[in-house]
Amino acid sequence: MYNHMKNVFLSALLAPAAVLTVQAANLSFPDVEAAKAQADATGKPVLIVWYGPDWQPDVDTFCRSWEKLAKQHGGTYVFGQYADKLGQEGGTRNKVLPIEHFNLPAVVMLAPDGSFMAEFSGDQVRQPGAQLMQSTARLASEAPRFARLVQIARSSEGGKAVENAAAALSLLPIKDAMRQKELTGIINRHDPQDKSGYRAQFCLDHLGMYSEINGILKGGKEGELSGRARKFDEAEAYVRRVLNSKTLKGKERRQQWLAGLAYVIRERILSTTTPENRDISPLLAALDEVVKLDPESQYGKGAAKFRHYWDPTTFNTITSGYYTRGDQTLGFEKDWHVDVTKSISGPGTYTFTLEPVEKGRMDSRNFRLAVNGKVVSTAKIPADTNTKTVELEVPAVPEGAKVEVWLTARCYDGWMEASGYIRMEKK
């Protein structure tokens, strides 16, 4: 089955390329524009291995391995070597691709008409395996249909243009579909109100989605509403309509819009409630949905961190002699568990000190000493809530025990400051 897939992968994909050679790494590679012309003439898709010599160690071995694999099955890979990640050669920008490369090497697939279809990059390209072959073979089999749909979308108006553009985009991985500026432009132009639902699916990337949501919150594209006057109900209703749309497909897209829902909920909570009376559960529920869909995706991991930040029942774990801006909480308190095990040299009175730097502001209180997760003593401190130095009595602790200082803190200097040092010293 694997060998059969390799045959499908290579014979279906690779158009024999006209040879306009460029000397690189002592090898000759067909010119990209010539390969596009050949693909158009034969009606076949083409792959460009975009390796970038500055980002690919041992270029000779890398290129020869792909070349050998292709020749074994009667195909010719088309190599593009450019001076930088934007595809520039001799100062002239290459117009083959609508994307920048930040993870070279990359394999780029073009449809028979030269339209960009997809990109594969990173380690999977360095050592191509069965998964890459299967994915690329599937796309290659759809390339003629993709090209036909693109042509119909270009030459049509109204709903027909939208439907064909969306049908073409649905053949591609979502990350590549959202890079298709021509096709997403057709959808935006012919369905600006998103009655089809395809605009939310394909046209609004991460930043575009938040721009759209903020436009509603502020009362329109040029709106100036702020704070609690913003239109939270309208924004939430809009996001929920997208989430309920049958056209919204794919875990990552659903995660993205769920993150947008969490954003609206968070803004409502921060603008309309105080720390003392706010109910954070709707926000946590939205974030839970993001994580549940795929905890290993970028959105899943991000939502998990964000949930930890907002959940009042969780705590920050500090294992080093300092805390960072990432440990702060803006507008609410959170418990910290600071590991001081290495500072304990026996029973006695110890001084625990927080030393903010960069003008980092912090309110801290409720200092406790815990051994293996159990509070054994409490600091005697003034009644204020801005204590930075306290004394703690440390009893004799078993060998190997974990000793921590627990405290309740609030840091609120934005993302650029609110860091400092932590010291635990025996008197």
Closest to 427 (Cα-Cα) out of 364, 377, 352: 352
Closest to 422 (Cα-Cα) out of 366, 332, 351: 351
On the question of pLDDT at 350 being above 70, the answer is: yes
Across residues 119-139, what is the average pLDDT? 72
Phi-psi region of 285 (alpha: psi -120 to 50; beta: other; left: phi over 0): alpha
Across residues 103-116, what is the average pLDDT? 76
Q: What is the pLDDT of residue 369?
A: 97
Q: What is the pLDDT of residue 318?
A: 93
Percent of the chain with pLDDT over 70: 73
In one letter, which amino acid is 85? K
On the question of pLDDT at 328 being above 90, the answer is: no
Across residues 347-375, what is the average pLDDT? 89
pLDDT tens profile 394-404:
999 999 999 99
Q: What is the pLDDT of residue 219?
A: 94
- CA 332 from centroid of its chain's CA atoms: 27
Q: What element of type H or E holds 422? A: strand 419-426
The secondary structure of 102-142 as a DSSP string is SS-SEEEEE-TTS-EEEEEETHHHHS--HHHHHHHHHHHHH
Domains (range + CATH), the chain: 2-149 (3.40.30.10), 204-309 (no CATH), 315-426 (2.60.120)
Binned at pLDDT 50, 70 and 90, residue 44 comes out as confident
CA 298/CA 325 separation, integer angstroms: 21
CA 407/CA 368 separation, integer angstroms: 6
Residue with tokens 């025996």: 426
What are the residues whose beta carbons fall under 8 Å from the beta carbon of 143, sequence distance 6 or more?
44, 45, 109, 111, 112, 117
Across residues 43-69, what is the average pLDDT? 66
Length of the chain in terms of residues written: 427
Higher pLDDT, 107 or 317: 317
pLDDT tens profile 148-174:
999 999 999 999 999 999 999 999 999
Across residues 28-51, what is the average pLDDT? 68
Which two three-digit tokens encode residue 167?
A: 């049908």
DSSP conformational letter for 16: P
In one letter, which amino acid is 103? N
CA 300/CA 303 separation, integer angstroms: 5
CB atoms within 10 A of CB 94: 15
CB atoms within 10 A of CB 325: 16
Across residues 43-56, what is the average pLDDT? 67
In one letter, which amino acid is 364? S
Higher pLDDT, 52 or 189: 189
In one letter, which amino acid is 381? I
On the question of pLDDT at 265 being above 90, the answer is: yes
Q: Average pLDDT, whole number, for the chain?
A: 80
| Segment among 14-28, 288-302, 339-353 with least mean pLDDT | 14-28
Higher pLDDT, 104 or 259: 259
Q: Starting from the edge strand earliest in sequence, which strands make up the sheet with 334-339, in order? A: 315-318, 334-339, 403-411, 362-371, 374-378
Q: What is the pLDDT of residue 6?
A: 40
Distances (CA, A) of 133 to 67, 127, 369: 15, 11, 57
Cβ 25 vs Cβ 98: under 8 Å: no
On the question of pLDDT at 363 being above 90, the answer is: no
CA 229/CA 224 separation, integer angstroms: 10
In one letter, which amino acid is 130? A
Binned at pLDDT 50, 70 and 90, residue 11 comes out as very low
Q: What is the pLDDT of residue 83?
A: 40
Cβ 153 vs Cβ 161: under 8 Å: yes
In one letter, which amino acid is 7? N
Pairing mode, strands 334-339 and 315-318: parallel
On the question of pLDDT at 1 being above 60, the answer is: no
Cβ 322 vs Cβ 420: under 8 Å: yes
Across residues 331-346, what is the average pLDDT? 91
Which two three-digit tokens encode residue 344?
A: 């304990």
Q: What element of type H or E holds 27? A: strand 27-29
In one letter, which amino acid is 421? Y
Q: What is the pLDDT of residue 66?
A: 62
Q: What is the pLDDT of residue 226?
A: 94
Q: What element of type H or E holds 148? A: helix 130-155
Cβ 5 vs Cβ 130: under 8 Å: yes
Q: What is the pLDDT of residue 29?
A: 47
